[in-house]
Amino acid sequence: MNFAIIPGDGIGKEVTSEAVRVLTAVGERFGHRFDLEQLPWSADYFLQSGVTIPPNGYDQLREFDAIFIGALGDPRVPDNRHARDILLGTRFELDLYVNYRPVKLLDERLCPLKGRTPEDVNFSVFRENTEGLYVGVGGRFKAGTEDEIAIQEELNTWKGVHRIVRHAFEFAKARGLTRVCMADKSNAMQQGHALWQRVFRELAPQYPGIEATHYYIDALAMYMVLDPGQFQVIVTNNLFGDIITDLGATFQGGLGMAASGNIHPGRTSMFEPVHGSAPKFAGKNVANPIGAIASTGLMLETLGLESEARAIDTAILRAVRDGHVTQDIGGRLGTREAGEAIASGIRSHAA
Ligand code: NAD
Ligand code: IPM
Ligand code: MN
């Protein structure tokens, strides 16, 4: 199998090294040939060459079995245009409409919610990933004056809403789950979110064993904190999904823990930690690599390598339980050492 590896910026580079270390260990243990091709696209590359992603970049990416991205974002590129082209561009151009973001607490010591255990925090967020407010439709008129008008349109299509809501239900059905919650803001956003309401109402009856519930997004945020155990699957739009998955990450121990997949079932998909490039931590060997490493687990799982994915999850869990982790979750290791603890867990299990 061949993987495109885009370390990107800041701590993205450091956590990607650890993800690669773990992937290599998995390849060795299970006897797979994993070809990892590093692509240099990043803020550095853009500042040196003026190129964010080459003209044939997306076609190049489509040739791989999967893509891994560390993180993109650098204060030297204030408009973040390289991140837009590389990260959002890949989501849009490869039509990766499912943003799968599991929220799973591994150890109750890591959860900031009082008294919550791994049983209470174990759900999956499906974030629509190709439309909504992210499409960049709009414009500015009289920019820079006191008469400036800025318009940013939210795009909701039947096809886009239908395929992500259906995916959420199908995921629940395949895993024997019994609850899917859709979150929108249809009380205020009476056009676009009426479409979400319609699609959800139309699809729900096709899944008789699954209880379909709805919350407005503000109430959902409140219930996530108050009673996370009620959630199994949450489906929502692009922006709301972005926001609630940072909140969900805190339940897991922080942004350093959260993993994600940007998936078009059956096609080349992209995997990345939920966190960004955290410039203040860059180059200090302090970033938590678990979100990145767990994302490689999602990548292998999506490619059908179940045992390999479980081996990664098991090694992460063991490192967390043993406290062989970075400072943000109470350990004393650096990024490299924490990555090595997980990789060696995978290797030793082979013995
Ligand atoms: P961020 O996720 O980079 O960091 C926010 C804070 O979360 C950090 O200051 C740190 O305290 C904590 N954190 C994040 N990752 C961590 C890790 N691995 N280990 C330990 N702690 C961690 O978010 P931000 O500061 O809002 O954004 C920084 C840059 O990253 C921006 O340019 C932003 O656009 C970009 N960004 C990129 C992605 C991506 O590539 N997928 C995601 C989010 C933000
Ligand atoms: C994420 C990030 C991105 C997003 C940014 C960097 C554009 O926050 O992947 O969660 O908003 O999707
Ligand atoms: Mn985000």
Best residue among 87, 98, 103, 277 to mutate for probing ligand 2's pocket (most ligand atoms within 8 Å of CB) is 87
Contacts 24+ apart (CB under 8 A), 304-310: 305/30, 305/32, 307/30, 308/26, 308/30, 308/32
Which atom of ligand 2 lies closest to the CA of 71? 6
What's the pLDDT at 303? 98
DSSP annotation string for 329-348 = GT--B-HHHHHHHHHHHHHH
CB 327 within 8 A of CB 41: no
Tokens representing 166 are 């259906």
How far is residue 314 CA from its own chain's centroid? 20
Q: Tell which atom from ligand 2 comes closest to the C-alpha of 238.
A: 12
Scored b (16 or more CB within 10 A) or e, 182-196 reads bbbbbeebeebbebb
Q: Which atom of ligand 1 is nearest the CA belonging to 70?
A: 40
Q: Which amino acid is at 85?
A: D
Q: Residue 351's pLDDT is what?
A: 42
Ligand 1 centroid to Cα of residue 198, in Å, is 35
Spatial contact of 293 and 316, defined as CB atoms under 8 Å apart: yes
Contact yes or no for 257/291 (Cβ under 8 A): yes
> Which residue in the block uniquely carries the two structure tokens 């024997």?
176
Beta bridge partners of 184: 216
With the CA atoms of 205, 206, 211 and 212 taken in that order, what torsion angle do they form, in degrees rounded to the nearest 10? -70
CA of 197 to the centre of ligand 1 (A): 32
Q: Rounded to whole angstroms, how far apart are CA atoms 183 and 186?
A: 9
Q: Three-class SS string for 32-43?
A: CCCEEEECCCCH
pTM above 0.95, yes or no: yes
What string of pLDDT tens digits covers the 351 residues of the chain?
Answer: 999 999 999 999 999 999 999 999 999 999 999 999 999 999 999 999 999 999 999 999 999 999 999 999 999 999 999 999 999 999 999 999 999 999 999 999 999 999 999 999 999 999 999 999 999 999 999 999 999 999 999 999 999 999 999 999 999 999 999 999 999 999 999 999 999 999 999 999 999 999 999 999 999 999 999 999 999 999 999 999 999 999 999 999 999 999 999 999 999 999 999 999 999 999 999 999 999 999 999 999 999 999 999 999 999 999 999 999 999 999 999 999 999 999 999 999 754
Cα–Cα nearest to 27, from 329, 335, 308: 308
Q: Which residues surround ligand 3, an ion (CB under 5 A)?
A: 242
| Ligand 1-lining residues (CB < 6 angstroms) | 11, 15, 71-73, 80, 83, 87, 254-256, 272, 275-278, 280, 287-288, 291, 328
Residue 9: which of 47, 36, 35, 37 has the closest Cα?
Answer: 47
